[in-house]
């Protein structure tokens, strides 16, 4: 099922998301780290993103994304990230709102 379970919805809601200061002006987003949250639920959410998400681009790379409740989620190793759906690379590219510095950031 591509709908999040109640347990994963609570995990998302109750987790303390950290604002990514490094990319505040170019790619604002929030993240959680596996060692600071329930590791089992973290793994479940990452697997849900991989299983039920969709592939999309971020500059020259491909990434799996999952949209839920107005935000887009993706994971990279021990980190799960999220940003508003309106701020994804694909949406910003379509709207002509990419950062002035178009170099591929290492995120």
Domain-embedded: residue 99: no
Cβ count near 68 (within 10 Å): 20
- pLDDT at 100 (0 to 100): 85
Number of domains in the chain: 1
Domain-embedded: residue 61: yes
Domain-embedded: residue 49: yes
Domain-embedded: residue 71: yes
Domain-embedded: residue 13: yes
Domain-embedded: residue 79: yes
Domain-embedded: residue 89: yes
30 DSSP 8-state letter: E
DSSP string, 41-96: HHHHHHHHHHHH-EEEEETTEEEEEEEETTEEEEEETTEEEEEEGGGSHHHHHHTT
Give the pLDDT confidence of 31-75 residue by residue, as tens digits: 999 999 999 999 999 999 999 999 999 999 999 999 999 999 999
What domain range includes position 70? 6-94
Give the pLDDT confidence of 70-82 residue by residue, as tens digits: 999 999 999 999 9
The dihedral built from the CA positions of residue 51, 66, 21 and 15, taken in this order, carries a sign that is negative
Domain-embedded: residue 106: no
């Amino acid at each position: 099922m591509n709908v999040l379970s109640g347990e994963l919805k609570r995990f998302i809601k109750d987790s303390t998301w950290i604002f990514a200061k490094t990319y505040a002006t170019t790619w604002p987003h929030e993240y959680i780290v596996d060692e600071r949250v329930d590791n089992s639920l973290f793994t479940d959410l990452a697997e849900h993103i991989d299983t039920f998400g969709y592939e999309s681009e971020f500059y020259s790379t491909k990434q799996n994304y999952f949209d839920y409740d107005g935000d887009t989620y993706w994971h990279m190793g021990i980190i799960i990230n999220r940003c508003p759906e309106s701020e994804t690379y694909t949406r910003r590219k379509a709207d002509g709102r990419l950062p002035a510095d178009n170099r591929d950031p290492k995120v």
